[in-house]
Amino acid sequence: MAFGPVQLIVLGFDHPRFHGEIIAELERLRASDTVRVIDALAVHKDEDGALEVTHLSNLTQAEAIEFGSRIGALIGLGIEGEEGMAAGAIAGAEVTAEGVHVFLESEDAWHVLDDIPNGTAAALLLIEHHWAVPLRDAMLRAGGYRIGDGFVSPLDLVAIGLHTPEEAQRLHALETARGGNGG
């Protein structure tokens, strides 16, 4: 099976009220072969900035360490302590020795943990967009390449007629409100 484009999504929660809806929706998307969750972490940052990290999956602890530590490796979070950091360093050294440059310079690194405000929580989702494999492959066959990507704010969709100003304001407020209705 071809591997699709991968995206890291960081969702913030002031006062998380998890009822299983987010996991259920991710499972539905997986069942439809739309996306695959590669890894998912819950991060709580206390008022002093100390982190508590939990895997959001049905993997055992051993499986999570072996298979589910992709986000930690991507953002430099040693969630398995010194043993996990050492394993990551060894893996990085091996691919670097093969001529593959994996580690980004510090100014290019993924600093998503810095964006999580103290006293809040976040869900970090590393997902594969499986639906995009045929599109990506067609683009490559046509000689194309990715220049950029990003989510478009509902406010920007008013100008092109996809939302009314009222609907855009409502959606923007929902997407950016801290301490929303939960999920």
Confirm if 158 and 166 have CB atoms less than 8 A apart: no
Instruction: Indicate if the pLDDT at residue 52 is higher than 80.
Output: yes
pTM to 2 decimals? 0.70
Burial code (b: 16+ CB inside 10 Å, e: under 16) for 124-144 equals bbbbbbbebbeebeeeeeeee
Instruction: Indicate if the pLDDT at residue 38 is higher than 60.
Output: yes
The Cα 13–Cα 180 span in angstroms is 8
Instruction: Indicate if the pLDDT at residue 16 is higher than 60.
Output: yes
